[in-house]
Amino acid sequence: MQKKIKTIGVLTSGGDAAGMNAAIRAVVRACAYYNVACKGFYRGFEGLIEGDFVNLSARSVNNIIQKGGTILKTARSDAFKTKEGRKQAYSKLIAAKIDALVIIGGDGSFTGGTLFFKEFDFPVVGIPGTIDNDIFGTTHTLGYDTALNTAIDAIDKIRDTASSHNRLFFVEVMGRDAGFIALNAGVGAGAEEILIPEENLGLERMLESLKRSKRSGKSSSIVVVSEGDKTGKNVYELADYVKENMPEYDVRVTVLGHIQRGGSPSCFDRVLASRLGVKAVELLLDNKSNIMVGLLDNKVVSTNLEKAVKGKHSINKELLRISDIITT
């Protein structure tokens, strides 16, 4: 017979993402609703190893649904990558009488979570919280929609100055391994070119496209570039390359950086966080474990945690074609 869950722990791990607070709130409130105690661990797996936690009641999470960042703080923990570190975390969880854990984070956090489940048979459920949207088993991760809206807002502003001065702007957005932000913000903001890690479209093609834009009467252009785009050049080198080959353009670079992480979560992220947080608790109470909750076809579904890490969430390449057509 499986153990009755009386206390659930929750933590945020990896990079912060808008909506993490809304997810913490949903987990805590669902625990209160089902008469289960809830404890929040600080600084991700670091807090787990140190046994650094706080008791969370329904009223502990008042007024946080709209806040960016995470009230539980987040961290990257090298110690948790070792068996010794995870053993220590397990003993702290047992000492704190925690029966199950909700991990809000990205694929690294889920890798740690699934190891923990296997080594100690400790129930874990993951909630995808990362702005990169690179998790299999969900169309959206927490923070992605907010990051997109922030990126679009910034690119719109850059376009004002680009068109006033007849400039070409390279705008770097986040995404070392995944082009979700670049592709969707690029299409949404009407970027002339979009460079992503998944596809090497080549420098020549970019140049040709910019020349075509110029010939067609456009006096300014925006190129959205993922941090990890496949051309092999960083955003400054790309700008230099275009300056050399198109001296007629006044070329500038803007790196959006960490503004994409922070800020108040969008309504979409708040609703998603609320749905996933409640479902995570309900699944644990139903003795389900080693799974991630996610959104597919607008339904909350669960995916094996290892599969969520190993599976590939692919970008919609059709958007590249759409982008070509709508920027003619």
Residue ranges that bind ligand ATP, judged by CB under 6 A: 13-15, 45, 76-77, 80-81, 105-109, 111-112, 115, 130, 132
76 vs 211 by CB, closer to ligand ATP: 76
Contact in structure between 45 and 88 (CB atoms under 8 Å) = no
Residue with smaller CB distance to ligand ATP, 191 or 256: 256
Residue 220 φ/ψ, nearest 5 degrees: -140, 160
Q: Which of 95, 184, 96 is closest to 139 using CA atoms?
A: 184
- CB of 108 or CB of 242, closer to ligand ATP: 108
Minimum CB–partner distance for residue 106 and ligand ATP (Å): 3
Alpha-carbon gap, residue 243 to 233, rounded angstroms: 14
Q: Which of 99, 132, 145, 229 is catalytic?
A: 132
State the Cα–Cα distance between residues 91 and 178, nearest whole angstrom. Answer: 36
Question: Whole-number minimum distance, CB 185 to ligand ATP, in Å?
Answer: 18
List C-alpha distances in Å: 64 to 29, 69, 101, 233, 278: 12, 10, 21, 40, 16
Smallest separation (angstroms) from ligand ATP to the CB of 302: 18
Six-digit token string for 207 = 């140049």
14 within 8 A of 109, measured Cβ to Cβ: yes
Cβ(141)–Cβ(133) below 8 Å: yes
Check residue 190 and give left, alpha or beta (phi > 0: left; psi -120 to 50: alpha).
left
Question: Nearest residue to ligand ATP, using CB?
Answer: 108
Q: Quote the least distance from Cβ 261 to ligand ATP, whole Å.
A: 9
Amino acid (1-letter code) at residue 74: T
Q: Is 145 a catalytic residue?
A: no
For residues 75 and 246, which CB has a smaller minimum distance to ligand ATP in the complex?
75
Q: Which two tokens stand for residue 188?
A: 């949404």
Which is closer to ligand ATP, CB of 130 or CB of 213? 130
How many Cα atoms occupy the beta-carbon half-sphere of 45 within 13 Å?
28
Using an 8 Å Cβ cutoff, are 248 and 194 in contact? Answer: no
Residue 22 CB, nearest approach to ligand ATP (Å): 17
Alpha helices, DSSP H, located in the chain: 20-33, 45-50, 83-95, 107-120, 144-165, 180-188, 203-215, 235-245, 267-285, 305-310, 318-326
- Name 87's Cβ contacts closer than 8 Å, sequence gap at least 6: none
Instruction: Return the residue matching tokens 């329904």.
Output: 58
Q: Compare residues 106 and 251 and give the one whose CB is closer to ligand ATP.
A: 106
Minimum distance from residue 275 beta carbon to ligand ATP (Å): 20
Give the Cα separation of 85 and 49 in Å (integer).
7
> Catalytic residues, which ones?
132
